[in-house]
Every structure is written in C-alpha cells, then in structure tokens.
Chains A and B, each alone.
Chain A
Amino acid sequence: MSLIELQHVGYQVDDTLILQDINLSIDAQEWVTLSGPSGGGKSTLVRLIASLLSPTSGTLLFDGKSVEDYDPIAYRRRVSYSFQQPTLFGQTVRDNLSFPYQIRQLPFDEARAVRGLAYVGLSASDLDKGVNDLSGGQRQRVALLRNVMIYPEVLILDEVTAGLDAENRAFVWSLVEHFNQDDKLTIIAITHDQAEIDAAKRLITIENGRIVGGA
C-alpha cells in the first residue's frame, strides 16, 4: 500500500482551476521530484499533501486513510513541509531549533541540536547566533534542520535550494540524501534545478494543473 495516494484530486479557487484530476501514489521512503513551469500548481499540490490546503475535489489518502480524517496538527507533525526562502522565527538559531519541542511541550534536546548543527556545517556556538547574522545558505540549513529536529515521516521540500550557490545547493542536497537513505524519510521535492531534475529517482512533471509526465 502506498503511503500517500491522490485520487482524482483537484483544487480550485472561485472559478480558477489550479489543479485537476491528479492521480499519484507515493510509497514510503520514496524520493519524488516535482518539476514543471512556475505557476503550474506544484506548490499547491505539496500544500495539499501537507494539509495546509484541502482538495476541492477527489481524495487524498495517507497510510490508507483520508487526510481529512486525521487531526491536522498531528498529521503535519508526520508530514513536514519546508518552504522556499524560509522565515526564521524569534531572535536566535536556538529559537528555531527549539520550536518543534516547544509546540509539543517537550524539553529541548540541545545535544541533538548541536549534533544537527555540526552535521549542517555549523557549530555549537551558532546556537545562540542571531538569525539576522546568518547567510542565505545558513538560513536554509537551519530551516531544514528545524523540520527534522523531531523526525517526520515525510519531508516536503519546496524549492529549498533555489537562490543558493552551487556549493550550498550540493550541501543541502547531500543532507536530503542522508534523510532519505539513512533515516528513511519519504521525500517530495520541488525543483527547477536541471542537475536535480537529471538526478531524480522519480520525476513528475506538472503543467497547467495537471501531471504531464512521470506519474
């Protein structure tokens, strides 16, 4: 059974059809790459999967059950969505890495945060660094780390490497590789980067609100 299954999913705002008749199955631990022209509906599709929006037609199943039947908060803790050009919260890196614990009313696992920072090329002393003192690449790494401080089952990445230089892009991608290979997270990643598209394990192309290739 697929972990995520979309059956004839559509999404429209007033009279504008943004997505139509999307049929897609994603297995656990799979890595799916979504590409296609801007405005084609990719971000809307992943927002539906992340339950930040609800489909206006069709059915979206997670683990065999309609997403609408899950408590949205609990569901989003299992299916985590990382934004393009993320916003960092509060003042410091610590404020961001402790956020997932804070919302679950759990004590902050500082040791894990320090290990995570080392893994993304930052140091323990960066924990109290101001978020405004971080470079673009560092911000993206901290945001990504924030999504995986407490592991979700599915990690959705919305153009997380856009705007990064080649070095940072490769770094972030190797991180995602690690999450997928070693930590067995299911990855759904939107990208416009040709190298990432070429390296995709499973590529799905979305255009004008429809899947036009790869499903």
Chain B
Amino acid sequence: MNLAVNNQSLMLALGLVVIALAIGWKEKLGIDRDMIIGVVRAVIQLFVVGYLLKYVFRLNNIWLTAILILIIIFNAGYNAKQRSNGIPNALPISIGAILISTSVTLGVLMLAGAIKFIPSQMIPISGMIASNSMVAIGLCYRNLNAQFRQERQAVLEKLALGADLKDASKEILRDSIKTGMQPTIDSAKTVGIVSLPGMMSGLIFAGVDPVRAIKYQIMVTFMLMSATSIGSVLACYWAYRGFYNDRKQLTV
C-alpha cells in the first residue's frame, strides 16, 4: 500500500470544501447549509461505515453479510422512492426492483466466479449495484411523471381508441427505461477516456497493476449495465399502472 491519507492530510483537504463554500456564499446559491450538512454527514457516515466494515469483514459471517446487503437495498429503495413524487406503491416497487436487480447481478457474478460470498467483496459490490440501480430508478420515476403529464392527451387518445394500459403507455415506458439506463451507457462509452472510475482508480491508487485494475472495471461496467437495465425495466413496468385507476382511466 502506498496510500498516504492520514488525519492531518484529511484536515488540510477540508480546505477544498472551504473553496466550495466560498463559491456558494459569493454567488448567493443558498446551499451553504446543505453543503455543511452534506460534509458533516459524509464524514460521520463514512467513519461509522469504515469501523463497521472492519468489524464485519473480520467476523466473516454469512447472515450478517446478508443482513447488511438487505439494509443497503432497503436504503437504496427508500431513496429511489423519494424521487417518485407520489407514484403509488413506490417504496415496495423500488425495493423489489433493486432487490431483484442486485440479486440477479450478484448471482451471475458469483456463478461466473468473479466474486465470492465474503463480506469484503459482497458488501462493496452490492453497494455499487444498488446505488446505480437506485439512481436509474429515480430517473425512471422522474421521466414517468414528466411524460405522463406531457403526453397526457396522446395517452388519453390511445385509451379512447380502446388501447389497454400497456399499449397506451408503451412509448412512455420505453423512453423512461432508456432514461434510467442512459447514464450507465454514457459512462460505459467514456470509461477510461473521460474518467477513471471509482473502483479502478481505487485499485490503482492502492498500488494494483492497472491491467488488473481494468479487468475489475470491465466487470463493474457489465454488472452496472445489468443492474440498471433490470432495475429500470422492473420499476417502470410496476410503476406505470399507478398512473391509472381501476377503471383504466388516466389519473394525472
């Protein structure tokens, strides 16, 4: 390991936050408070997680690992739900979609032998999958809400012609799933050219051979594609019915 981040250097790096705060204050962005809360929360959360992970990794217990993964999935689902803006049943939909997308992706990775069911691998990978799925689902919700309002008349006309809910919503569903997956596709296209993503950077930072590091990154790219596509498809297909009532009438 050739990492040299100690408490003192972290304190000095805090100067970077001061720059951000100064910009926010000078431009009257009104985000100083949010920024300070964000920084304090990040520091506390990460310290707690750091010590917790150290303990969990040392314990190496299957059930504890599984419980932590479920907590990650619940939190991701809860956060995705916050983006739903009133879509009915958004919490169970979000948790279900993230649970399935994470399980399928983790399952394939384990079957392929890429990762093992040990906490030091399962927990960080689950976190990456669930958080990407969460962002994708949040984008899907936002797009569903926007599109059902924007395309209201087209949906009504399709219903008026006798279309069932799926036919009336098909374009909106397609567009929302695409929106959910777009950031993952975009970042896959530019990975290595524009950014050296977190996992790969972390490995290189920790002194791992870049050629080995990219193999992990390729795996991450594949798993994020799978997670966001499964998450987006499930969330959109489960959520769109919430825009209709039981008489199959549009309610927005």
Contact = CB atoms under 8 A, between A and B. Distances in A.
Contacts of B250: 52
A147 B159 CA distance: 11
B160 A76 contact: yes
Contacts of B162: 73-74, 76-77, 80, 100, 103-104
Given A51-B249, A52-B249, A72-B248, A83 B163 contact: no
Interface in B202-252: 247-250
Interface in B133-181: 153-154, 156-164, 167
A53 B249 contact: yes
B161 A76 contact: yes
Interface residues of A, number: 25
A89 B163 CA distance: 13
A90 B250 CA distance: 20
A99 B161 contact: yes
A83 B157 contact: yes
Interface in A131-183: 146-147
Interface string A77-101: 1001111001101000000000110
Contacts of B159: 52, 76
Name, among B153, B158, B163, B250, the residue most crowded by chain A CB atoms within 10 Å (CB to CB). B163
Contacts of B248: 72-73
Contacts of A82: 160
B157 A72 contact: no
A68 B162 CA distance: 15
Interface residues of B, number: 16
A102 interface: yes
Contact of A68 (B156, B160, B247): B247
Contacts of B156: 52, 83
A87 B153 contact: yes
B161 to A, nearest CB: 6
Nearest to A90: B171
Contacts of A52: 156, 159-160, 249-250
A103 B162 CA distance: 8
Contact of A147 (B153, B161, B163, B167): B161
Given A83-B153, A102-B167, A54 B161 contact: no
Contacts of A100: 161-162
B27 to A, nearest CB: 41
Interface string A56-82: 000000000000100011101100111
Contacts of A147: 161
Contacts of B153: 83, 87
Nearest to B160: A81
A83 B160 contact: yes
A53 to B, nearest CB: 6
Contacts of B160: 50, 52, 76, 80-83
B154 A87 contact: yes
Nearest to B156: A52
12 contacts: A51-B247, A54-B247, A68-B247, A72-B249, A77-B161, A80-B162, A83-B160, A86-B157, A87-B154, A89-B154, A103-B158, A103-B164
Interface of A: 50-54, 68, 72-74, 76-77, 80-83, 86-87, 89, 99-100, 102-104, 146-147
